[in-house]
Structure 1
């Protein structure tokens, strides 16, 4: 499972992307718990902490929007974390 972070999520996570090993039946909610369990350095000044960003973010599963956190994931999936964006 590959997770890609964008904008403030990237700053708060401290990485552009990272891999997670999932078990059969794991969901987006399970993945988010795993993301939050990783010990990370403090985000840059002015960047909200990752838990706050994740609570407000949208997610793409293999480039398709997913809102249901109980959506099942597969080992070869890609999840994009898209925090709220200002402007247009």
Structure 2
């Protein structure tokens, strides 16, 4: 299956892209996708992924074992500073 990963703020800078398509096996979970992102961007992205939160098709992900579907959009949201 193919999912679209969208990166925001520091995640965008670490990945070097706003978004990318990622191939995963059928039945893959959000955790599997995060693992693949670590493999694809080993030098810069893992640290951001450790602190990031995720949206799957616009809904916050609390359980990384949540299954993905073909064509899903996974947003990587690093912590934002502000006040």
Given the two structures, how large is their TM-score scaled by the length of structure 1?
0.85
CA shift, 1:39, in A, is 4.5
Superposed CA deviations along residues 11-39 of structure 1, whole A, max 9, x for unmatched, are: 00001000012222100111011111115
Rounded to whole Å, the distance in 2 between the matches of 1:12 and 1:38 is 11
CA shift, 1:50, in A, is 1.2
Rounded to whole Å, the distance in 1 between the matches of 2:69 and 2:34 is 14
Asked if 1:7 is matched to 2:44, the reply is no
| Structure 1: tracts of 5 or more residues without a match | 43-48
| Structure 2: tracts of 5 or more residues without a match | none
Asked if 1:65 is matched to 2:71, the reply is no
Rounded to whole Å, the distance in 2 between the matches of 1:36 and 1:22 is 13
Counterpart residue number, 2:28: 26
The size of the alignment, in residue pairs, is 81
Counterpart residue number, 1:85: 80
4+ long deviations beyond 6 Å: none
SS at match of 2:11: helix
Given the two structures, how large is their TM-score scaled by the length of structure 2?
0.90
